[in-house]
Chains A and B, each alone.
Chain A
Amino acid sequence: MTVITHERFHSSEAVEFDESPAVTAGAGAAAITLSGLEKSFGANRVLRGINLHIPAGQFVAVIGKSGCGKSTLLRILMGLDEPTSGELRFEGADGAEIQPNARIVFQEPRLLPWLSVADNVVVGLGEGIEKKRARAEAKAVLDEVQLAEKAGEWPAHLSGGQRQRVALARALISKPGILALDEPLGALDALTRISMQQLLNRVWRELGCTTVLVTHDVSEAVHLADRVIVLEEGRIALDLAIPYPHPRRHGNPALAELEGRLLSAILGSDGGH
C-alpha cells in the first residue's frame, strides 16, 4: 500500500487550501473500516484481503480495470453481498459501532416507472412517513437537483441525465450518512457527466456524508474525491490523497498530473504502456 501526500500546489485554486479535509463530516456520517475483507465466488477470489479505513465525511473514489472487484466491494459495503471473510465496521462520531443510513445510486437509474418522479423520490424515505411531509421533502430535494418542475412527470418522459438526478434525489432525501455511487455517470454523455459531477460535488459538500464512488473514469475520480484507491486483482494497489480544495476546475494542471500518474498505475501494471 502506497500513501502519497502531496506538497502544497500553488495555483489560483490553492488559496484556501489547508491540511484538514475540505469538507466537515455531516451529522449522520459514519466512518467505515474494512479489515481483511475477502470475497470469493466459487473458485474466483474477487477480493483478496482489503484493509481500509475511511474517515467520516470523506469522499473516496475506487478505480480499477473491470473485474478488479470494485463493484463487489461497494455491494458488500451496502449489504447486498456478504463477505466470505473479514470484518466490516461502521462507526459514528463517538467511535461506537452503528448501523448507518446508507444509500446507493446505481449505474442505471432504477426508477419505478409506475410512480411519478416525486413518488420515486419518496421511496428513499422508506415506510411510515406521513404523505404530506414526504411530498414536501421530495419537492425540496428535487429542487436541489434542479428538477422541481418535473415532480409530476412519469420517469419515461425524462432524459437519461434527468433520471439519474431523480435517482440521486431518491438517495439524498433521507440525508444518508453513507452514499455509495456505483458508476452513476457511466451511461451519460460527456457534457451531462460534467454537470452531474458538479452536482455530486455540491451535494456532498452540503451533506457531508461519507461517499464511496466506484468509477472507471480517472478524471472523474480526481476531480471529485479526497482520496483515490486503485484496486488491482482484488487488492489495493495504490491509495492516493488528492489534497486540493473543492470545487475543482477542469483543466487544473496539478489534477491532470495526478490523473496521468493514476492512469499509468492502472495500465502500467501489466506492462502494456
Chain B
Amino acid sequence: MSTFDTPFARAGAEAGKTRADGARSGGARAGFRLPLPGRDRLLPYLVPVAIVALWQLGCSVGWISSRIMPSPADVASAFWTTTISGQLPEDVLVSAGRAFAGLLVGGSIGFLLGIANGVSKLSEQLTDTVLQMLRTIPHLAMIPLVILWFGIGEESKLFLTSLGVLFPVYLNTYHGVRNVDRDLIEMGKVYGMSGWTLFRKVIFPGALPSIFVGLRYALGIMWLTLIVSESIAASSGIGHMANNAREFMMTDVVVLALVIYAVLGKLADVVARALERQTLKWNPAYVK
C-alpha cells in the first residue's frame, strides 16, 4: 500500500475535507435560512466575492500600494486590453493546447501501463519497479536537462507535462484495477466472461472511481508543470505573458495570468467532476 502514498494521502485528505465542509454547512443550515432559491449554488462563491471586494476596497483607500498589488479593477482593465489586442486569447489557447496535449500523452501512457500492470503479473514485474523509481524524481528537477534536449520549443513543455501527469494516472489506475472486487471477477468468469468482455464489463468499471481520482490529481499537476515550464522557457503562453509583464513591472498582467490559471484549473476540475458524476451514476457516493 505504501507505494500509493502520495496521491492517496492527498485524495484521502481532500475527501476528509469535503466531508468536514459538508458537516459544517449542514450545521449552518440548521441555524439560519437565506430566502434565496439558489442558495446552495451561490454559497460557495460568497467567500471569493468577499475577498475581491475587500481587496478592491484596500486598493481604493490606499492601504495596498498599486506597485505591489494591482486592484481588481486594474486587473479587469488589463484583461480587457489584452483581450482586445488578441494577445490573451492567443496565449490562453496556446497554454490550454499544451496542457491537454500533455494530459493526453502522459495520461494515455499512465493509463495503459496501469491497466497492463494491474492485469498482467509479467508486465508488473517488468515495469513497476522502474516506474516507482522514476516517480520519486521531482519531474521539474529535469528542466535543465529538458532544455538541453529539446530547447525551449513545444517538445520540452509536452515532455514535462506528460511526465508529470503520467504517475498519478498510472498509480491510481493500477490501484483501481488491483482492487476490483475479486468476487465480482469470479462471478464474471463463472458466467462465461473472459478477456476483453471481462475487462469491459467488470474490471474497467470497477477501477473507474480510482481512475478519476488519478485524473483529477493529474489535472493539478498538469497546470503546475505548465506554469513553471512556461515561466522558465517559453516564447508564448500565459506563463510567458506573465514573465514578460514582470520585466515591465506590469503587475496587473502578472495577477491577470494568475487569475486565468485559477479559472482554467477550476474549469478542468468542473469538467472532470461532471464526467465522474455521469459515469459513476450507479455509485451512491457520487450521487448528489
Binding site for B on A (CB under 8 A): 78-80, 103-104, 106, 108, 110, 112-115, 123-124, 126-127, 154-156, 170
Contact = CB atoms under 8 A, between A and B. Distances in A.
Interface stretch (B141-149, B169-177, B182-190, B269-277): B182-190
A103 B188 CA distance: 12
B205 A123 contact: no
Contacts of B208: 114
B187 A156 contact: no
A104 B183 CA distance: 13
Nearest to A107: B183
B192 A112 contact: no
Interface in B86-134: none
Majority secondary structure of chain B interface residues (helix, strand, loop or mixed): helix
B192 A126 contact: yes
A79 B192 CA distance: 12
A78 B190 CA distance: 8
Contacts of B186: 80, 110
A156 B284 contact: yes
A80 B283 contact: no
12 contacts: A80-B186, A103-B190, A106-B187, A113-B282, A113-B283, A114-B205, A114-B206, A114-B283, A124-B191, A127-B197, A155-B282, A156-B284
A124 B283 CA distance: 22
Given A106-B183, A110-B183, A127 B192 contact: yes
B184 A112 contact: yes
A123 B183 contact: no
B266 interface: no
Contacts of A170: 191
Chain B, interface size category, equals 20 to 34
Contacts of A110: 183-184, 186-187
Contact of B283 (A104, A108, A126, A156): A156
A104 B197 contact: no
B282 A156 contact: yes
Given A108-B183, A127-B197, A114 B282 contact: yes
B17 interface: no
Nearest to B185: A110
A155 B197 CA distance: 21
A127 B190 CA distance: 13
Given A104-B190, A156-B282, A112 B205 contact: yes
A104 B192 CA distance: 12
A108 B190 CA distance: 14
Contacts of A112: 184, 201-202, 205
B10 interface: no
A106 B189 CA distance: 13
Nearest to A124: B191
A183 to B, nearest CB: 14
A82 to B, nearest CB: 14
Interface string B241-262: 0000000000000000000000
A123 B190 contact: no
Contacts of A106: 183, 187
B29 interface: no
Contacts of A103: 190-191
B191 A123 contact: yes
B184 to A, nearest CB: 6
B33 to A, nearest CB: 30
A136 to B, nearest CB: 19
B21 to A, nearest CB: 24
Contacts of A124: 191
A80 B40 CA distance: 51
Contacts of A123: 188, 191, 193, 201
A115 to B, nearest CB: 8
Closest 3 CB pairs of A and B: A110-B187, A114-B205, A126-B192
Interface in B189-246: 190-193, 197, 201-202, 205-206, 208
Contacts of B190: 78-80, 103-104
B201 A154 contact: no
Identify the interface centre among A110, A114, A123, A124: most chain B CB within 10 Å of its CB.
A114
Given A110-B186, A114-B205, 16 more contacts: A78-B190, A79-B190, A106-B183, A106-B187, A110-B184, A110-B187, A112-B201, A112-B202, A114-B206, A114-B282, A123-B193, A126-B192, A127-B193, A127-B197, A154-B282, A156-B284
Nearest to A153: B282
Nearest to B181: A110
B279 to A, nearest CB: 9
B223 to A, nearest CB: 30
Contacts of B205: 112, 114
A113 B187 CA distance: 13
Centre residue among B186, B197, B282 by max chain A CB count within 10 A? B282
Most interface-central of B188, B190, B193, B205 (chain A CB within 10 A): B190
A156 B283 CA distance: 7
B143 to A, nearest CB: 41
Given A110-B184, A112-B205, A126 B282 contact: no
A103 B201 CA distance: 19
